[in-house]
């Protein structure tokens, strides 16, 4: 593991008594790209604003390279920020926007060279003289990135960097952004509420819920080995059924059958559990959990079937011809996870 460049320790921010960010501890290594993923109200944007210095934490510290920057003014923090709506200065040209953070640091020639270097990085050579209002949404986004990177910040922060682009442009911009970040190797933290974006851009993803860190890890770790019920259901598709833990790594479902389960959380035999199963980890079988197919959503050759099992529903991914709506079916499980039911 590389030495952590950016370290958040016990970071807490309350708004009117309510903790928006609660005891958050996270490390980002030099050159790492961390995604903050969570539903709205999970505290991800507040965390980013605490990092940028726009908000002051009630508790906890932020360190860069071992130095405490918790109470440093935003202007002296040397963190670059790309805003959700870009916040380009409308009265300045593209080049003037990019040069804004360079004033007083380098001489004019050096500044000019740096501006064209940055514009080249985001593929906007020759756009320097244009007013920012003359650019498309995607171009504005790239100017915002160039502007944030120009002063060579220690950390780059991005707030929902792709949310303002239309879907077609989003994927291309995501690739370009990924390439640009990789090229300069800058330590990056970005906020998103879309897991696809988090997994595609971030090499690690921190899942936040109600101000708390649920889990941090790679996409595979989060999907295959979710630490909490929240992560299991928030990341990827999953069905949840109630049951009771039995001896020998199993759970007796309220629907009657017993399934083998893995228990990442601490669960004692006889305790109630929430059993989580992915659509691809369930299949139609001759015997097992019985239910009725209520819905079928086609996705080309594969389809998602919704099966009503009496005490809940289970989503099953199978070939299109595997079942029909209205049919009575049985389900067999390949892998299921059990979590404490009242997990916060």
Partner 1 sequence: MTGRYRGLLLTLILGWVVVYPVALVVLDSVQGPGGWTLEYLAAFAREPREWAALWGSLWISVASVALAGLIGVPLGFVFERLEFPGRRVLGALVALPAVLPPLVGVIAFLFLYGESGFVARAIMQLFGLDESPWRLYGAGAILLVHAYSMYVYFYLFTRAGLAKIDASMIEAAHSLGCGAWRTLRRVTLPLLRPQLAAAALLTFMTALGSFSAPYIFGGGFRVMTTQIVASKLNGDLPMAMAETTALALVALVGLLVLRRQGEARSVVAVGKGTPPSARALSQPIARWGATALGWVFGILLLLPHVTLVVVSLVPLGTWTTQLVPPAYTLANYGTLMTEPERLRPLVNSVWMASAATVGALAVALWAGRLVVQRRVRLRGVIETLVSVPWAVPGTVLAIALATAFSVRAPWVGRWVLVGTVVILPLAYLVRNIPLAAGSVLAGYRQLDPSLDEAAASLGAGRWRTLRAVTVPLLRPAILAGGALAFATGLGDFVTSIVLYTYETRPISIEILSSLRAFDIGAAAAYGVVLMMISAGAMVVGTRR
State the residues that interact with partner 1 by CB under 8 A.
52-54, 73-81, 83-85, 87-91, 100-101, 103, 147-148, 151, 157
Q: What angle do CA 133, 134, 138 make, to 5 degrees?
A: 85
Q: Which is nearer to partner 1, 63 or 84 (CB)?
A: 84
> In Å, what is the CA distance from 341 to each residue of 216, 247, 306?
21, 18, 23
Cβ of residue 188: shortest distance to partner 1, in angstroms?
14
Cβ of residue 74: shortest distance to partner 1, in angstroms?
4
Q: What is the DSSP letter of 173?
A: H
Cβ of residue 54: shortest distance to partner 1, in angstroms?
5
DSSP structure string for 203-235:
SEEEEEETTEEEEEE-HHHHHHS-SSHHHHHHS
Q: Which is nearer to partner 1, 101 or 243 (CB)?
A: 101
Alpha helices in 79-157 (DSSP H): 94-99, 108-121, 137-149
Cβ of residue 173: shortest distance to partner 1, in angstroms?
19
Q: Taking a C-beta distance cutoff of 8 angstroms, is the pair 56, 117 a contact?
A: no
User: Which H/E stretch holds residue 312?
Assistant: none
Q: What is the DSSP letter of 1?
A: -
CA 159 to chain centre: 11
Cβ of residue 52: shortest distance to partner 1, in angstroms?
6
Q: Which is nearer to partner 1, 91 or 172 (CB)?
A: 91
Cβ count near 116 (within 10 Å)? 15
Q: Which is nearer to partner 1, 77 or 212 (CB)?
A: 77
Candidates 328, 277, 283; CA nearest to 302 is 283
Q: Which is nearer to partner 1, 141 or 215 (CB)?
A: 141
Give the CA diameter of the chain: 77
Cβ of residue 138: shortest distance to partner 1, in angstroms?
19
Q: What is the DSSP letter of 149?
A: H
Per the rule left: phi > 0, alpha: psi between -120 and 50, beta: everything else, 5 is alpha
Q: Which is nearer to partner 1, 129 or 168 (CB)?
A: 129
Candidates 139, 140, 159, 137; CA nearest to 83 is 159
Q: Which is nearer to partner 1, 191 or 205 (CB)?
A: 191
Cβ count near 51 (within 10 Å)? 27
Cβ of residue 339: shortest distance to partner 1, in angstroms?
39
Q: Which is nearer to partner 1, 144 or 337 (CB)?
A: 144
Cβ of residue 4: shortest distance to partner 1, in angstroms?
22
**Residue 92 and residue 96: Cα distance in Å, rounded?**
6
């Amino acid at each position: 593991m590389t030495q952590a460049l950016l370290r958040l320790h016990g970071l807490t921010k309350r708004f009117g008594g309510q903790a928006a960010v609660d005891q958050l501890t996270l490390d980002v290594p030099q050159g790492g790209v961390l995604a903050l993923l969570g539903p709205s109200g999970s505290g991800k944007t507040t965390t980013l604003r605490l990092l940028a210095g726009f908000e002051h934490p009630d508790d906890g510290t932020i360190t860069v390279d071992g130095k405490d920057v918790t109470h440093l003014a935003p202007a002296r923090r040397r963190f670059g920020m790309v805003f959700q709506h870009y916040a380009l200065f409308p009265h300045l040209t593209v080049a003037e926007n990019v040069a804004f953070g360079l004033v007083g640091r380098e001489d004019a020639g050096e500044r000019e060279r740096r501006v064209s270097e940055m514009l080249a990085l985001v593929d906007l050579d020759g756009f320097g003289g244009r007013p920012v209002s003359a650019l498309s949404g995607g171009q504005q986004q790239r100017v915002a990135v160039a502007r944030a990177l120009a002063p060579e910040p220690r950390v780059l922060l991005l707030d929902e960097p792709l949310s303002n682009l239309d879907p077609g442009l989003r994927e291309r911009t995501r690739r370009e952004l990924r390439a640009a970040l990789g090229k300069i190797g800058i330590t990056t933290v970005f906020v998103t509420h879309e897991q696809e974006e988090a997994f595609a851009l971030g090499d690690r993803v921190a899942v936040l819920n109600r101000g708390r860190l649920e889990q941090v890890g790679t996409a595979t770790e989060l999907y295959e080995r979710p630490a909490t019920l929240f992560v299991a259901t928030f990341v990827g598709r999953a069905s949840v059924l109630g049951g009771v833990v039995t001896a020998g790594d199993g759970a007796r479902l309220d629907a009657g059958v017993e399934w083998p389960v893995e228990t990442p959380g601490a669960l004692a035999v006889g305790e109630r559990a929430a059993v989580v199963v992915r659509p691809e980890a369930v299949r139609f079988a001759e015997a097992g959990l019985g239910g009725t197919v209520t819905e079928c959503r086609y996705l080309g050759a594969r389809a998602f079937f919704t099966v009503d099992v009496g005490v809940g529903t289970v989503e099953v991914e199978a070939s299109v011809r595997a079942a029909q709506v209205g049919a009575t079916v049985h389900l067999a499980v390949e892998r299921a996870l059990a979590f404490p039911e009242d997990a916060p």
